[in-house]
Amino acid sequence: MISSVGLWWVAVLVAGLPGTWAAGSDAALRQVRAQHSSVELIVADEEPDRERGLWIGVRFRLDPGWHIYWKNPGDSGLPPSVNWQLPPGVRAAEFEWPAPERIPVDPLVNYGYSGEAVLPVRLTFSCEFPSGTMKIGASLRWLVCHETCIPDKASLQILLPLGEPDRRQLPEWRRQVMEARNKVPRPLPKSWKTGAVSRAEVFVISVRMDRPAPEKALFFPSDVGQVNDSAPQEVVAVGRDLKITLRKSDQLSSEPRALRGVLTFPTGESYAAEFPLRPDEGAR
């Protein structure tokens, strides 16, 4: 079996080969139908605000059974990437990543999104707004996978102010962008205490919460190659204390100082957390 990192590098090499990306469209359109997916640009508002900026979303719609990837794809894959074409004085932040799903692709486990996913991005503006029609362009690349993976790309563009019929879709676009932002993991509450121990073959992360700990939880590591993504996660909840045992990756070459990632609960809550690592004092 090819290792998880090996599969990841295969995807990198394929993505880098000239001519391997299937063209969604050479023309700059707002939306494009690609292979087993469609992708489009949507906005939450059509008038920029100097204080709040402008929220834009890259929306993917995936065919049943197909998925795209989170920033850490898990055992294999690549996350979507974008190169923005913006007017002078306009800057784009990085993608904000909603909490992902754990997607089994036997014998692997990937982290990503199925069905429909919106990746929100905040645009900021200098003191002078662009005058007239503002063009926002995006050159996108992504990998869409089922039992096989297909690299794809698209050049998208949206014009502000919006024309018809796009303006009629603005309330729904705003809802979708805000919904995606609400799914972006929040910082862990300050009252919660985190820790982690490193044992021979596993990491054990722990959280002391301000309420009874849930019996189910998932941890999505932010960094590739630290955790065995396909191994089951053992969850133990006692009172306000939550512990999750994570099997170490076979590719782990040195002990990290901390495990960073996203903690999710069945309620839909998700938190970005860092778990400082210490040696297991009980180990012999």
pLDDT average, residue stretch 88-113: 95
The confidence band for 283, taking pLDDT boundaries of 50, 70 and 90, is low
SS3 175: helix
Fold of 187-279: Immunoglobulin-like (2.60.40)
Using one digit for the tens of pLDDT, what is the confidence trace for 201-246? 999 999 999 999 999 999 999 999 999 999 999 999 999 999 999 9
pLDDT digits (tens, 9 = 90+) for 125-177: 886 666 678 899 999 999 999 989 999 999 999 999 999 889 999 999 999 99
Q: What is the pLDDT of residue 13?
A: 38
Give the CB-side neighbour count of residue 190, counting CA atoms within 13 A.
0
- pTM for the whole structure: 0.88
113: closest CA among 8, 273, 187, 220?
A: 220
**80 vs 107: which has the higher pLDDT:** 80
The Cα–Cα gap between 58 and 106 comes to: 29
What CATH architecture is 4-183?
Sandwich (2.60)
Q: Which residues of 190-225 are buried (b: 16+ CB within 10 A; e: fewer)?
A: eebebebbbeeebbbbbbebeeebeeebbbbbbebb
Residues of the chain with CATH 2.60.40: 4-183, 187-279
